[in-house]
Amino acid sequence: MTEVQLRHLHKSYDGQRPAVSDLSLRMPCGRITALLGPSGCGKTTVLKMIAGLLPPDQGDISFNGRSILSIPAEKRGAAMVFQNHLLFPTMNVFDNVAFGLKMRGEPKAVIRQRVEEMLALVKLPGYGRRQPHQLSGGQKQRVALARALIIKPKVLLLDEPLSNLDAHLRLEMRDLILGLQRQMEITTIVVTHDQEEAVILADHIALIFEGVLQQVGEPGDFYERPSSLPIARFFGGVNFIPGVKNGLRVQTNLGAFHICDTEGMPDGPAILTIRPENVEVHHGPHDENCVPGRIVSHIYAGTHTRFKIATADPALPPLEVITDAASQRLYEDGAAVQVQLPPAKIWLLPETEAHV
């Protein structure tokens, strides 16, 4: 298995603002790492530099501690699956999948056996004679995946592999990618702008904004422990309450809130944040960290109900709360309620970054 290490990577196009700036990252052996961020943040540039399709202006890339910058793309042992499949249109499925083995001069019998095994693995047995134009988008992506995996790469690079598929096919491809990666234990790096996709696919996430690495961690860290306000917002954070921290207590215009952990946050101005699904709603007073509120509106979404609840601070936007679907029968718009922020679910962010 292969560990990928990026050290101080820097890349600019035509002397403009850096697409990637001083990016250092370790991607562990045999796991899936997601490069996540909005469009244009530099994540595909990073992937292309690993593949050897772009040279970095500065920095180094190593596989298992050995720099690969002087190694040509075709000899690095990295296979890339592009967003738009890029199948050879004049070759049938068999020849597309077999291409890498043919370039290596493998015997025909070996090629035939390996192609048949790979088509079965991606759930396309018997598709060898079909032409690319006869395939659906999901089938083309499976062929592209089979073509990449058949050469047994050290590192698999996936560039937005699900973005061109409809919702049903995305679910199928997610399961297929996860199953193949677990079975083959290939170090995999996937580029995506979709938070849900990154969380489902990846063991680790590297979040990039404007070419700069923002936070690295397990998927849950980004939801429960964002390191900045922009990161919290990118992962769906909407509840931000300014306050002043003193030990395990935060004083706000809504009153004092107790917290369980500060992760080294110093006393002083801070922003209290909590995810909508972690806020609780009650008819009457309920333990600690409760404040009165009034339901402004609600949206029933089948699996859950989303409420907007106004508080006593007119300068504060309504709190957003996500509850189980049945709650829409319990609370009407305009109803007075008690809103509870469980101490274990509260997270603090630096006040200097906030504009709430």
pLDDT for residue 80 is more than 70:
yes
Contact 292, 336 (CB under 8 A): yes
Q: Which CATH class is domain 240-353?
A: mainly beta
Sequence spans of domains, the chain:
4-224, 240-353
CA distance 20 to 16: 11
> Whole-model pTM?
0.87
Sheet with 319-324: list strands edge to edge.
Answer: 280-282, 336-340, 290-300, 304-310, 319-324
Residue 161: CB atoms within 10 Å: 25
**pLDDT score, position 353:** 52
Q: What are 152-199's pLDDT values in tens digits?
A: 999 999 999 888 778 778 888 889 999 999 999 999 999 999 999 999
> Does 4-224 carry CATH code 1.20.1250.20?
no
